[in-house]
Each structure stands twice: as structure tokens, then as C-alpha cells.
Structure 1
């Protein structure tokens, strides 16, 4: 088996900012797993990455004499995996749908730098596949991907039994409980899609959950939470209030009441009490979203579209986010009124007060303390990455 390398197509990476400021495309979570975790399980291999230079210390490239490059935005399925596995050396796989390069097998260790296909034999893939190439794809494809990952993760395994007599389950055959899960007086409805509860996760008293739903390892659904379908709460997140069709990557908190819908939060984000977002315009027209490539607003083609928040960002109590808001990396936003549709990385302030630069040294101190509270170290590689982002070197 060649070494598996998940590459960032440059145009796709820009479309997925702010999340790809701090990770390769394949580091995005959609469904239960990240895209990289999906490929690792399907190919029984530990993938490496062909990504931006400033990210390479955190996400290294695996050098060998036989490389299988795979578009990091792809979600694997049985047929696609079979075709990519059979790809011979010195060839590439092109999509019949949009002519994009899906995979390349070559001895070159620098192929992804230019993505040239000259001298490689072309194969065309006409089958179906899902790719995460726009911000709204992350929540838009999440329900289907929960189902795909559920089948992958539960095949040949037996769910742990539900021990709590006060929890009621609808379609319990579609609910999988891993070791160490604690559930108290909750309602779990898996009639319209599976519910996956990861190892050592907690579902607190009075929570109501509708599938498809995924709860990551060590994550918590708070007391009285209302979790609507197609939602993922990633590892070690804490979520309360009302959440609909949203994705939390990992280590992020929405611990209090307030609404979040059709939204995506990166890692180490925090929403203060009674933070809400709009996900539908009152004239029912398509939502427009900030695009980092054009630095303007792009029509998403969707009438439901909420908040996209980059890593390490925090919102104060009662913060209100407009329909289709994009917030960058390491932002501290607060105050009255609806916030702007785009808030740049390393900003401090709010709509009423105005915004100022978030001083880097202060931001790093807060971040270090945030991670220390979870007994996780903030290391030099992470600091170097954030310094590059702050300096606009990305």
C-alpha cells in the first residue's frame, strides 16, 4: 500500500476559510469523523498531508517512494475507495462531473505543489461522491455523513446497553452507545436517523435529541438541551440550549441557552449565555456569505445558513449573529446589536463598540489558559501557526 497523502486543492482551501487557516481541508469534521479520519479507516492507513507550508509542522507530509495523493475534501464511499485503491503508479483519477483531480499515484514527493498531470495516465471516475468544497457543505452534508460514519464505526460491534430506566428511546436499534457513556432521564429519537454516543460522553437530565446525531468522545449535552437533526457535537465539546443542523469540531462550548442553527464552530470556541444566531432571512431569499477569495459576499443558494466561527474565537453573553456570518480565527466579539456579516481574525470588539486588533500576546495568553483548563498544552508549533495567521502570511 502506498503512503496516503491528503492534499489541499488551493481553490477549495480558500473556499473553506476560516477553518482552513488552522488545519488542512481533511481536518474538517463532517459527520462523526473528520475527513482524514474517514480515509484512515477506509484505507487502514495513517494519512499525512500536503498542505500550506506554515501548517506542515502540525500536519506533516509522509515521504516515501510511492505516494497516493487524495483530494482532502472528498468523503470516501465504497466505490470511490475501490477505484482509488486500484489506481496504478504513474496515473491520476479525474472526476467526470467537474473535471477536478480526485487522486494521483506517483513517486513524486512534490506533486501537490503544482498539481500537474502531464506524463500521468488519466482515468475518469463517473461514480457518485460527496466533497466538502464550500462552508455550507459542512452542515449541509452532515446528516448523510453521520449515517455513513455510523455504519463504518458500528459494523460488527455491539452497542453498550442503556442503563438508565428514565431515558426513553425511539428506534433503539438505530442508537449506538460506546463504553463509559452516561445518560440521565433523556429522550433519544432515532426514527429518522441514527444516534451515535461516543466513549465517555454525557447526555444530561431532560435533554431531547433527534437523529441523525453524533456526540464525540468526552462531549456533554447539557440539562434540558434540545438537539435537532443533523447535528454533530465533536469530542470534548459542551453544548446546551437549542441546536439545529450544526457541527462543533472539538473542544468548543455552547453551554447555555440560546439558539444555534445551520452553523459550524471550529475548535476551542465559546458562545456566552443567551448567544443566538439567525439562520433564515425574513424575506426568505438566499443567504449571502463572505468569501475570502473575492473579499465580497457570495450567494450560497440556500435559504438556511447561519454562523461559521473559526478556531479560538469567543462570543460574550447575549451576542447576536446575523444570517450567514463568518468570524475568523481568535476573535473576541461582544456587545449589543447584530454583529457584522464578517469579522476578521484577531479582532476584539462588537457592532456597537467597533472593532480593534486583538493584541497577539494577549490572545496567546488567553489561549494558553483556555487549553490549560482542559489539561492540554499549547505548544510552540501552534503558536508559530497563529503568528503566521496574525501576520497575514497565509
Structure 2
């Protein structure tokens, strides 16, 4: 079976995948299939293309182990198209969504899109996935997701429309009848048949959605939409627990000290755990993905997730509610925070109730405040305007490629724009705009965009990733 082109083998136990498509017969993948699908970088695309091609062909082999395989033939007549769309509210998630689509944001162990495709749509028959994003993101998203159609949707076939900000938490959703599901004034999802859509040829996505609201019955839904950056942090612990249960596996090597039930911990066999590491799962599960290194005297408290290829530095304290994406370097103390991926917090310092984008470098002793001295709600500047969060604990929101110097202090609810630099000794302002330097109370343009892009190229090359031409044009 391993040599049958056009088939994919997925191990439910080890999550090892073997794919031998006609154009890639020499390739054998023996790694975590879910992780490869989750990765936004080019190495993921072959395995994802194989998965989608097999789905379209109606061929899928599911195996409990490599020796004991069985196959399941998917229906050959697929019935609908999926369209994941961005609405105007994605701008409320700046700076996190300035360089990515809203569906790429991480909560728990995976992105919003992965939860939609891997959980929400399980059992549904569909043959195409369309991603509708802001125009300037089109080349970048096409490069990251070549297996999907980006900004090419035509209202012809039966379609399930899904808001890119939808956080799927396991709700039972019915898609049999035409409907528009609303959440606090925004379309969460909608299902429309081709007969409803046939008059809309040439219409924009906004026009299509407005038409559906006029023509179909609307109902208020209990599904969640991510409205603000702090929502991602607020729901993170809950989603860590849910996704651990969804993945349905546990594994701990002998000799690792675990506080609590060992079946609440999964540590991939490829993980290297040094002596004197303690994993505390009394308050929630801990999932440590492949190729992670955890150095001595580290404490990891659940619920938490540590993504593939990440290094947890000596004496680190990874407290509850943390999601650390792939290929990060993390030390010091981290609590109730999401680090999207490919970012560095090597040294001591505190990060709490924060969301850190990609390719961020936090200098030694960088510390953010997540609680005001008078215990009142935190204000956060979104698009340059203050917004009341209704929350007492809110940390920093840091855009891609931002940097802080050693000894930097970030004020409660700080927003640091993409490619911004914050240098000590002053406490940061509430808002540092994109491409801006903040030095000794003064804002400036720093060394300019060309130098910033060279710095980005250097940092990315250290992790074996190249700044794509599409990304370069996006920043320019």
C-alpha cells in the first residue's frame, strides 16, 4: 500500500503520514501530518496538496499503525464549496492582522482556519476551499496556501460561507437549510444554494453577503467571533483543553516528573527533555509537539502547548494558558500568552496576557505589565484610538518583526506595531505605530524600511526561512 500513487496513509496513533503522489514518488513523509498542515511555510505544501488530492479522488487510507491498514473511500460526488471570508472587523485585530489573514491567528493548539477545516467541517462533502482576504494580502496568502483558491470565489455553486474570525469550539452546527447565522451584528456563517446565488455573478463578496442577509432567514448564533486581540488570549486556556481532547492521545517518557495524571500530558517521541524538568497538569493538559527541546530546571504548567521545533531555555517558567508556536526560543516567565511562531524571548523577563506575532525579538529582561495598580479595566489603543477592554488583565500585543531592547518595560495593554523598535530605559507608550522607533521618549522612523527588511531577512535566514517577494511587497 505504501507504494500506491495517489493515496495517503495517516496513522491515528503516531500521526505519521506517508504520501506518494505521482509527481512526488520519491518522497516519503514520516512526520506529524497535522503539524505539516498547520505550518504556513512552503515545506507544508506537498503534504497538504497530497491530502487534498486524495480527498478529491475519494481515496483515503486510515491506519491505526503501519502494519494494520484499512481504507475508507470518500464520496465521489462532493456537494458544496467552502468560502472563508474576511469582513471589515479584521481591522480591530491590528497589528496582528496587518500581515496575515484573520483566520491565521492562533488560539489553543492551532489557527482559526485549522479548527474550521479539521473540526467544524468534518463529515461535510465539499470540493473547493476559497479564501477571501484583503486585496494587499492576496499574493502572500496565495503563496502560503497554494492548495486553496484565494480571492477567486464566484457565486455559482452551493456554498458555505464562514467568517474568518470564527472560533470553532465544538458546537453542533446544522447546514442542511439555507440560513444566515449572525453574531452581534456580524455574519458568523451562512449556507446558500446555487439557486439563491445564481443572480450574483460578478458581485463582490460584500455584495454577496448583503444579498444573503436580505434573501435568507437570519438567526442569532452562539458561535464565537474574535472581536479584539485580547479575545484570543481570553479563550486560549479553554481551547487548549478542548484541542487536547480532540487529539485524543497522551504519552510521557519515563523519568519525566509529572504533577497530576500522566494521561493529561503528550510529549512527542522526538522531544528532548533534559533533567530536572517538571510538568504540572493538575489544572489542565500539556501538549509538547515534535522536535522540541526543554532544558534543565524548567517548569511547565497546563493547560499549555509548545509547538514544533521550539526550545524552552533553562530555568524557564511556562505557566498556565500558554500557546507557543513553532520554532520559538523562550526563557524567563510566560503566563496566559500566545507566541505565534518563529519569535525569540530567550532571556529572563515576564510576558503575561499577551499575543506576540512572528519574527519578534524581545531583548533580555523585557517585561510587560498585564494589571493596573488600581485594578481597573485596561484600555488598549486599536488603530490609534483607545478601546475599553472590560478586562482587568491585558498584556501586550506585538506585531510581526517588532523588536525590544534589553531592559524594556511595556505598559499595561501596550500595542507595538509591525517592524517597530522599542528601546529602554523609558516605560513604553500605550501605542507604538508600525515601522516606528521609540527611543528615550521620542518617536522616529529609525533606519527606514530598507534596513528593516534587511534585518528581517537576516533573522529569518537564521531559522532557514526566506523572506518571500510577496511578503517584501506587502511591507513596501
- Distance verdict in 2 for CA 1:123–1:224, change over 3 Å: same
Post-superposition CA distance 1:178-207 (Å, at most 9, x none): 241122221111111111111112222111
The reply on whether 1:75 has 2:161 as its aligned counterpart is no
- Aligned match of 2:244: 150
Aligned match of 2:140 in 37, 50, 58? 58
Does the alignment pair 1:98 with 2:184? yes
Using the size of structure 2 for normalisation, the TM-score is 0.74
The answer to whether structure 1 residue 135 and structure 2 residue 229 are counterparts is yes
Where 1:224 maps in the other structure, the secondary structure is: coil
Partner residue, 1:175: 265
Q: Does 1:113 align with 2:202?
A: no
Of 26, 34, 44, 2:103 maps to: 26
* Root mean square deviation of aligned Cα: 2.0
- Report the Cα distance in structure 2 between the residues aligned to 1:201 and 1:110, rounded to whole angstroms: 47
Higher relative contact order (CA 8 A, sep 6+): 1
**2:22 alignment counterpart:** none
**Aligned length, in residue pairs:** 373
Cα distance between partner residues in 1 of 2:447 and 2:436: 5
Bigger Cα displacement from structure 2, 322-331 vs 35-44: 35-44
SS class of match (1:13):
helix
Matches within 5 A, 1:219-368: 219-292=310-383, 295-368=384-457
Structure-2 residue corresponding to 1:381? 470
Cα deviation, 1:148-188, whole Å, max 9, x if unaligned, reads 22122x23xx434414x253342211111224112222111
Residues 62/237 of structure 1: CA separation in 2 closer, same or farther (3 Å cut): farther
- How far has the Cα of 1:220 moved from its partner? 1.8
**Secondary structure in 2 matching 1:147:** helix
Structure 1's 160 and 76: CA in aligned 2 closer, same or farther, altered over 3 A? same
**How many Å apart are 1:119 and its aligned residue?**
5.3
Distance 1:161 1:189, change over 3 A: closer
- Cα distance, 1:377 vs. partner? 1.1
Query: 2: distance between equivalents of 1:364 and 1:290?
Result: 26
Rate the CA distance shift 1:166–1:172 in 2: closer, same or farther, 3 A. closer
How far is the alpha carbon of 1:118 from its aligned partner? Answer: 5.0
Which of 101, 118, 122 is 2:217 aligned to? 122
Q: For 2:94, which of 6, 14, 17 is the aligned residue?
A: 17
Cα offset, 1:123, TM superposition: 4.5
Q: TM-score, normalised by structure 1?
A: 0.89
Q: Are the counterparts in 2 of residues 235 and 250 from structure 1 also a CA contact under 8 Å?
A: yes
C-alpha displacement at 1:357, in angstroms?
Answer: 4.6
Residue pair 2:250, 2:263 contacting (<8 A) in 1 also:
no
Question: Aligned equivalents of 1:244 and 1:62: distance in 2?
Answer: 41
SS of corresponding position for 2:109: coil
How far 1:120 sits from its partner (Å)? 3.4
CA distance in 1, matches of 2:110, 2:328: 14
Give unmatched runs, 5+ long, in structure 1: 388-394
